[in-house]
DNA sequence: TCATGGTACTCAAGAATCTGACTATTCCTA
DNA sequence: TAGGAATAGTCAGATTCTTGAGTACCATGA
């Protein structure tokens, strides 16, 4: 019952279609919540049935019509309750770390390759987040924006995504280097 | 189908019972994989049926008997295949970040409290990880251990858990401070 | 001595999630 | 002028995960 709150939080700033929501769960919101498009469509339908979001049809000329959803007052009240309730510990699942954990007993070459790939991905995300942060604060300095800005929620989570990706990037590079060194340099002295 | 690999990876270093495995998924392995005890018991049963782990009964005097599991050669081969296959992007789900995302439109007091709570938790984890790292390298310097140690996999993932928790801790403290300042200091100038 | 907490599991039901396919239109490119 | 990518979804089925309860035994402290 928590995907619903992630969806509500994502819809706070703009009216979005299911399709756009799915995009944003692949980029921005993906920093702290993962979900597939099918789930989002299903969740939007449930949220609408429960009156927490309101949808409206938008007819388009040059592409298929879409339904835009916005959070209702009831939806906001639900978020309010959610924020006040105690949070579950965050949950992480990382294939790559499982591979690193096994890395002495398993061929490291593909693991190193995947670490490098993930590092490249992290660099792209970092760039994206940095440009998003700039966009959010529209020319204001960070201090000033965080003190006086109207809407800082997305900025703060973006900041979180940034530190996460920076940490992950450093880790990937370091681990790849270590495993590489052990492969080429003789291990046991 | 990936919990199985996390379980195999966790059993590489020691024979564990389902109960001990559950403990380790609550502490060490929890850095990169989340699972409940019930899932682990179920997964162990499946892994044994598939011949990827072997269990043996250990009779105990002063407490209930237990079954210890270790990875078979087939299990290791399965991990090998897994490590060579391309990894799925890691998946994160964080209630607290959802609340921070909504924080301009929702009462921040409980969110701040939860950030502080999470920070305390992170500090405990960091201490735990640091002592684990020390234990892993048994007196050796880090450089030396990482170059020549027999088994560095768990050390590397523990290092990952450490940087993650450090990043999370800093984020929590910073965000709590920012939200606090906005609450007390008048927002709009 | 009685409650509490740790060890060691098991079971069932229901909710959530993932896999994989499928429809339909338009724009852009080769 | 056909093929592919992007927009905008839908559906069914299988698997996985969570919730909540329950069993049993021993040790420790009040």
pLDDT of residue B186: 57
A59 in contact with B at a CB cutoff of 8 Å?
no
- On chain A, the residues whose CB falls within 8 A of the CB of B87 are 95-96, 99, 114, 118
Tell me which of B38, B61, B84 is where a domain ends: B84
Tell me which of B52, B84, B116 is where a domain ends: B84
Report the distance separating Cα B32 and Cα A107, nearest Å. 20
Does the residue B163 lie in any domain? yes
Model confidence pLDDT, tens digit, residues B122-176: 999 999 999 999 999 999 999 999 999 999 999 999 999 999 999 999 999 999 9
Does the residue B119 lie in any domain? yes
Closest residue by Cα to the C1' atom of nucleotide D27?
B62
- On chain A, the residues whose CB falls within 8 A of the CB of B147 are 181-182, 185, 187
pLDDT of residue B32: 95
Does the residue B189 lie in any domain? no
**Closest partner CB to B187 (pick from A79, A148, A159):** A148
Residues B132 and B54 in one domain: no
Å separating the CA of residue A61 from the C1' of nucleotide C24: 14
Residues B79 and B126 in one domain: no
Å separating the CA of residue B39 from the C1' of nucleotide D20: 14
Q: Residue ranges of chain A with pLDDT lower than 70?
A: 185-189
Residues B43 and B71 in one domain: yes
Question: How does strand B16-17 pair with strand B91-93?
Answer: unpaired
Q: Taking Cα atoms as reference points, which of B168, B138, B163 lies closest to residue B151?
A: B138
- On chain A, the residues whose CB falls within 8 A of the CB of B95 are 2, 5, 87-88, 90
Report the distance separating Cα A105 and Cα A179, nearest Å. 12
Share of chain A above pLDDT 70, in %: 97
Does the residue A89 lie in any domain? no
Report the distance separating Cα B188 and Cα B177, nearest Å. 18
Query: In this complex, do A9 and B101 lie within 8 Å of one another by their Cβ atoms?
Result: yes
Strand C CB shell (< 7 Å): A 1-3, 34-36, 38-39, 42-43, 62-64; B 17-20, 23, 37-38, 41, 45, 60, 63-67, 88, 91, 93
Domain range holding B43?
3-84
Residues A161 and A80 in one domain: no
Does the residue A172 lie in any domain? yes
Gyration radius from chain B CA atoms: 21
- On chain B, the residues whose CB falls within 8 A of the CB of A27 are none
Chain-centre distance for alpha carbon A72: 24
Report the distance separating Cα A145 and Cα B19, nearest Å. 49
Report the distance separating Cα A102 and Cα B11, nearest Å. 10
Residues A68 and A18 in one domain: yes
- The answer on pLDDT for B189 being more than 80 is no
Token pair belonging to A83: 């924020």
Model confidence pLDDT, tens digit, residues A56-100: 999 988 888 999 999 999 999 999 999 999 999 999 999 999 999
pLDDT of residue A185: 65
Residues B79 and B123 in one domain: no
Residues A151 and A180 in one domain: yes
Query: How many domains does the structure of chain A reveal?
Result: 2
pLDDT of residue B188: 45
Q: What is chain B's mean pLDDT, rounded?
A: 94
Å separating the CA of residue B68 from the C1' of nucleotide C7: 14
Beta bridge partners of A92: B92
Does the residue A144 lie in any domain? yes
Residues A136 and A158 in one domain: yes
For chains A and B, count residue pairs whose Cβ atoms are closer than 8 Å: 225
Q: Taking Cα atoms as reference points, which of A119, A172, A170, A154 lies closest to residue A33?
A: A154
* Residue B36, helix vs strand vs coil: coil
Residues A105 and A134 in one domain: yes
Does the residue A189 lie in any domain? no
Query: In this complex, do B178 and A101 lie within 8 Å of one another by their Cβ atoms?
Result: no
Model confidence pLDDT, tens digit, residues B52-74: 999 999 999 889 999 999 999 99
pLDDT band, residue B185 (cuts 50/70/90): low
Query: In this complex, do A92 and B32 lie within 8 Å of one another by their Cβ atoms?
Result: yes
Q: What is the DSSP string of B98-111?
A: HHHHTTTSS--HHH
Report the distance separating Cα A135 and Cα A88, nearest Å. 31
pLDDT of residue B133: 95
Q: Nearest C-alpha of chain A: how many angstroms from B136?
A: 13
For chain C, which bases have at least one atom within 7 A of a protein Cβ? 6-12, 15-21, 24-27
pLDDT of residue A189: 42
Residues A74 and A100 in one domain: no
**Closest partner CB to A83 (pick from B33, B88, B107):** B107
Sign of the Cα pseudo-torsion (A153, A158, A159, A161, in order) = positive
pLDDT of residue A170: 98
Model confidence pLDDT, tens digit, residues B24-51: 998 877 789 999 999 999 999 999 999 9
Category of B151 on φ-ψ map: left (φ > 0), alpha (ψ -120 to 50) or beta = beta
- CATH code of residue A49: 1.10.10.10
A39 in contact with B at a CB cutoff of 8 Å?
no
Does the residue B90 lie in any domain? no
In Å, what is the CA distance from A118 to each residue of A94, A173, B68? 11, 9, 35
Chain-centre distance for alpha carbon B105: 32
Tell me which of B54, B84, B114 is where a domain ends: B84
Query: In this complex, do B148 and A86 lie within 8 Å of one another by their Cβ atoms?
Result: no
Residues A150 and A71 in one domain: no
The burial of A49, by beta-carbon neighbours within 10 Å (0-12 exposed, 13-18 middle, 19 or more buried), is given as exposed
Report the distance separating Cα B170 and Cα A145, nearest Å. 19
Residues A102 and A173 in one domain: yes
């Amino acid at each position: 019952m928590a995907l619903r709150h992630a969806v509500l939080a994502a819809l706070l700033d703009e009216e979005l279609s299911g399709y756009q929501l799915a995009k944003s769960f692949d980029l921005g919101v993906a920093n702290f919540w993962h979900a597939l498009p099918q789930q989002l469509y299903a969740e939007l339908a449930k949220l609408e049935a429960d009156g927490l979001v309101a949808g409206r049809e938008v007819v388009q000329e040059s592409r298929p019509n879409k339904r835009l959803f916005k959070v209702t007052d009831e939806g906001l009240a639900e978020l309010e309750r959610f924020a006040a309730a105690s949070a579950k510990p965050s949950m992480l699942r990382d294939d790559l770390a499982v591979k690193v954990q096994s890395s002495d007993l398993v061929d490291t070459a593909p693991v190193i390759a995947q670490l490098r790939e993930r590092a490249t991905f992290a660099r792209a995300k970092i760039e994206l987040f940095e440009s998003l942060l700039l966009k959010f604060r529209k020319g204001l300095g960070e201090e000033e924006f965080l003190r006086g800005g109207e809407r800082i929620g997305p900025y703060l989570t973006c900041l979180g995504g940034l530190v996460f990706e920076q940490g992950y990037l450093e880790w990937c590079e370091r681990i790849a280097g270590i495993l590489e060194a052990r492969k080429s340099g003789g291990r046991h002295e």
